[in-house]
Amino acid sequence: MSEREVMEFDVVIVGGGPAGLSSACRIMQLAQEQEKEISVCLVEKGSEIGAHILSGAVVDPIALEELYPNWKALGAPLNTEVKLDELHWLHDDKVSRQFSNWMIPKTMHNEGNYVISLGNLCRWLAEKAEELGVEVFPGFTAATVAYDDSGRVEGVITGDMGIAADGTEKDSYMPGMLLKAKYTIFAEGCRGHLGKQLIQHFGLDKDADPQHYGLGIKELWDVPAEQSKPGTVIHTAGWPLGNEAGGGGFLYHLENNQVVVGLITDLNYKNPFLSPYDEFQRYKHHPLIAKHLQGGKRVSYGARAIAKGGLRSLPEMVFEGGLLIGCDAGTLNPGKIKGTHTAMKTGLLAAESIVNALLGENPPSKLTDFTEAFNASWVGKELQQTRNFVPVMHKLGTFFGGAYNWVDQNLCSGSLPFNFTDVVPDYASLELAEKHQKIVYPKPDGLLSFDKLSSVFLSNTNHDEDQPSHLKLTDKDIPIQKNLPMYDEPAQRYCPAGVYEVVEKEGESVFQVNSQNCVHCKTCDIKDPSQNITWVVPEGTGGPNYPNM
């Protein structure tokens, strides 16, 4: 540690998403109100703020209203209010049926919400944070949690730069810095690699169900002006996933003749032959979806895991020296299919708790008042109301689970006296290949459907090839000796970026890892049935560079 440069701050924030940026802004607002100086540093692994941000996104502005009540006058990029809100059941690849408005759980209604680029909102929030005095460092990875001699979190160590693939130091080598803080906020997003470590280290999930995840795959399209209907929001359930997996599709019209389309596949699926990427390519050919895209041009592609377990899967969010907030903890409201507003609110609550502590005479090591404030806030009440939303879908399926949720949310406001749980981790739900038939997916037509490599190209993903792989195999033999015979090595299909392949070399099957392709979705870390793959941060600035996503 003596070789590392040390920088000290009052607060270090890991992650430039909506949770971390909201927290940074609110800390500085409160410091100014109290006429106190508080130093805040925010590190973001993307090449710029927003580069790694991917979400649908239909956003409830409730938390933004609290942070910046005059956000419209300030020019926040929420330009397209929802005007048309539809939910459809897709029976098959041709037939669909629209649900009447009264048939939709009220939590899924989108009146007053906005169709936005979440990346652009984060860029705007970063500007506001810097105006307030926050030191924002994009391109810096938080590689390791730093603990003091008592076991308290004292900050993070940024990733070393200039390490060759063989582990040696290149001429450009520069050791990472120790960023010390009185309090550290971890806001890395879903399945944050440090958040995962902290949950294990402190046993934060000992009283929670396993977290459950979905894989969201999204494309951004430019469409002809005559097809553009800004404010149109379409959600679907049923085909193409059907009985194979939970989840659903979405299509939103933004401003500037742009449309976003995507598919979320629940990662508790059983069939190892299922490919979420190929299911998404099929999805775009459904007449309901295709009519919005035909004649358009695909301009960006991305994928990201979604923490969707809700309250049942929420770990303790405070520990000695810091907090775990937003999707790093799993605060998405599954009943609304929204996590931005809840992530931002946890950031605001974290800021208030930290400032109160810093201004007090004896700052506590563990911010227990945050937990009380969280439970009493609207975000705590939202998650309490939808606590059964995901486990009941897992138990009863999309159709009957949806019917239960309609009764629970629309008639009882989430107060039905039943408690559903799902204690099977998503990776453990995968069944042996011998129980299933291979799925033959149609070849992409190059108009609506595309191959993986051309999609990864549109994500602007790049990593320095001469660096250690950030996809770590605990046992390099497991993919071929265990996963291949048992599950036909599902990494070939659950990865939406073509990172994992089984190739033949000199008559033998070899597991090939194309880490250069990785879009940082974290699906491999979640779904590998042997839990043999661990995602860690690559060298700074590596990964996708999403525009307007």
How far is residue 468's CA from residue 139's CA, in Å, rounded to a whole number?
A: 17
The answer to whether 412 is a known catalytic residue is no
Beta strands in 122-281 (DSSP E): 135-138, 142-147, 153-158, 161-163, 169-174, 178-186, 213-222, 232-238, 247-253, 258-266
Tell me the longest C-alpha to C-alpha distance in the chain: 71
Bridge partners of residue 135, in order along the sequence: 41
Task: DSSP letter for 274, please.
Answer: -
Question: Crossing angle of helices 340-359/368-376, nearest 10°?
Answer: 140
Question: Among 123, 191, 298, 304, which one carries the catalytic annotation?
Answer: 304
Question: CA torsion sign, 338 to 339 to 340 to 341?
Answer: positive
Asked if the bond preceding 57 is cis, omega within 30° of 0, the reply is: yes
269 Cβ neighbours under 8 A, 6+ residues apart = 244, 245, 246, 429, 430
Residue 327 annotated as catalytic = no
Nearest to 216 by CA among 191, 243, 186, 179: 191
Contact criterion met (CB below 8 Å) for 11 and 41: yes
* Nearest-angstrom CA–CA distance, 140 and 131: 20
Catalytic residue, from 340, 346, 386, 541: name it: 340
**Residue 340 main-chain phi, psi, to 5 deg:** -65, -50
Instruction: Examine the residue annotation and report whether 518 is marked as an active-site residue of this protein.
Output: yes
Tell me the torsion sign for CA atoms 86, 89, 95, 98: negative
25 is catalytic: no
Residues 98, 101, 104, 110: is their CA dihedral positive or negative? positive
User: Catalytic: which of 25, 41, 327, 521?
Assistant: 521
**50 φ/ψ angles, rounded to the nearest 5 degrees:** 95, -15
Catalytic residue among 190, 398, 518, 523: 518
Residue 127: closest CA among 169, 168, 171, 71: 71
**Has 236 been annotated as catalytic?**
no
Q: Cite the beta strand spans of 92-223 per DSSP E.
A: 96-98, 114-115, 135-138, 142-147, 153-158, 161-163, 169-174, 178-186, 213-222
3-class DSSP state of 196? helix
The structure tokens 């903890």 sit at: 329
Token pair belonging to 34: 């109290």
**Residue 41 a catalytic site member:** no
190 assigned to active site: no
Out of 25, 41, 122, 524, pick the active-site residue.
Answer: 524
Which among 39, 55, 144, 541 is annotated as catalytic? 55
Q: Is the peptide bond before 240 cis (omega within 30 degrees of 0)?
A: yes
Q: Among all residues, which ones are annotated catalytic? A: 55, 304, 340, 495, 518, 521, 524
